Structure 1
Amino acid sequence: MSRRPKIRLTLIDRKGPCGCHRGHKVGDSFDFDTERGKLCPMAMHVAFPYIDILRYGGNIPNQPEGTAVFCCPDVDTINVFKIEKVED
């Protein structure tokens, strides 16, 4: 049985006028399997479909293979995250 690839989420930009209410800053990185509880629940809600697609062999249109970029839904913050499938 093959192992699922690891998933890393990294905060790469902030577009909104306010800081993150959860305290995330550009450059923060999270391992999905061991640190997902540290990630803002609103961002995780948006990230999960992308994670599922990447982890199980799919790709996101107009994104480099094994990656996805998405924004958190907080209009005052608009943190931009990058998801990467990490192959061992």
Structure 2
Amino acid sequence: MNRGKRPKIKLTITDRRGKTGCHRGHHVGEVFDYDEDRGKICPMAMHCAFPYIDILRYGGSLPGQPEGCAEFCCSDADVILVFKAEMENC
């Protein structure tokens, strides 16, 4: 990892498991740059994403997940969008 420069993180919406559509209009297939698109991503999803982003950026990994990747869901029980976070080289 390059000191002083945080690795780029890409967020992709991969699935929806809830009964309703996203209240912010997000949909499966949408892709975001975590740093560049923060204002475009639902705050509930950002709240859920932050711990995973932190883990990836500081060299951690998650059990059962490929290195440099993390999958998580937003916290809206009606919507339940599934996100995949990937570092540049995932």
Q: Normalized per residue, which structure has more helix? A: 1
Read off the aligned partner of 1:32 and give its amino acid letter: Y
Q: Are 2:34 and 1:32 aligned? A: yes
Residue 37 of structure 1 deviates from its aligned partner by: 1.1
Shift of 1:61: 1.2
How many residues are aligned here? 87
Q: 2:19 aligns with which of 17, 20, 26?
A: 17
Q: Secondary structure at the match of 2:24?
A: coil
TM-score, scaled to structure 2? 0.92
What do you get for the CA RMSD once the two structures are aligned? 1.0
Q: Structure 2 counterpart of 1:64, which letter?
A: P
Q: Which aligned runs of 4 or more in structure 1 are off by greater than 2 angstroms?
A: none
Using the alignment, how far apart are the partners of 1:35 and 1:11 within structure 2?
A: 14
Counterpart residue type for residue 57 of structure 1: G
Name which of 62, 65, 79 aligns with 2:64: 62
For residues 61 and 39 of structure 2, the distance between their equivalents in structure 1, rounded to whole angstroms, comes to: 25
Give the aligned partner of residue 72 of structure 1: 74
TM-score for both structures, normalised by structure 1 = 0.94
Among the aligned pairs, what percent are the same residue? Answer: 66
1:16-51 C-alpha deviation (Å, 9 max, x unpaired): 110000000100011011101111000100100000
